[in-house]
Structure 1
Amino acid sequence: MKSRRKFFIISTIIAIVTTIILPSNPDQSTGILQYEYGFPINYITFFQTETSSNWFGANFFTGNAGLAINPAILLINILIIYFVIKLVAKIRSKFLA
């Protein structure tokens, strides 16, 4: 029981930290720039009228034309990372036992 909670906390931290430290590539398929963040699936989108930095902090604190956050995708990201960590721990325990 404790390992599941520990894995969930670690996967939550990884999902949030990777959002902050991984840069985004702007998408200009419409007339406005879209900077998308999240790992492994994007769940935060900043909308900008002018080219800005690719980094999360710069876009978050310097102003933007809009912001979209999808908490369901964040939960999916956490679960994906959780199952990867659980699989790695299972494989590791087989080889070390």
Structure 2
Amino acid sequence: MDLRFEGDELKSVLNRLRRAQGQISGVIRMIEEGRDCEEVVTQLAAASRALDRAGFAIIATGLQQCLADSVSGEGDAGSTDEVKARLEKLFLSLA
């Protein structure tokens, strides 16, 4: 299945991935500088969360599209943004 990202969806995922990229660069720099272990682990955990959130956003978008394609107007499951937000929240609660 091909994911179809709209402008805001794509921007949100890319922002999360860029944030993670910056955090990972920061972790590398911190290790090279011999920074405190606790600081390094804290920054690494932040990068991991950013990657998780980007992944979950992608999963939520894919599931929302899959559901929308299969239902095709049957019933009123709420707006696309509401369904996506609910799916993303569910996946984040599993993390």
Q: Which has the higher contact order (CA 8 A, sep 6+)?
A: 2
Structure 1 and Structure 2 fold alike (TM over 0.5) = no
Report the TM-score, using the length of structure 1 for normalisation: 0.34
Report the TM-score, using the length of structure 2 for normalisation: 0.34
Higher helix share: 2
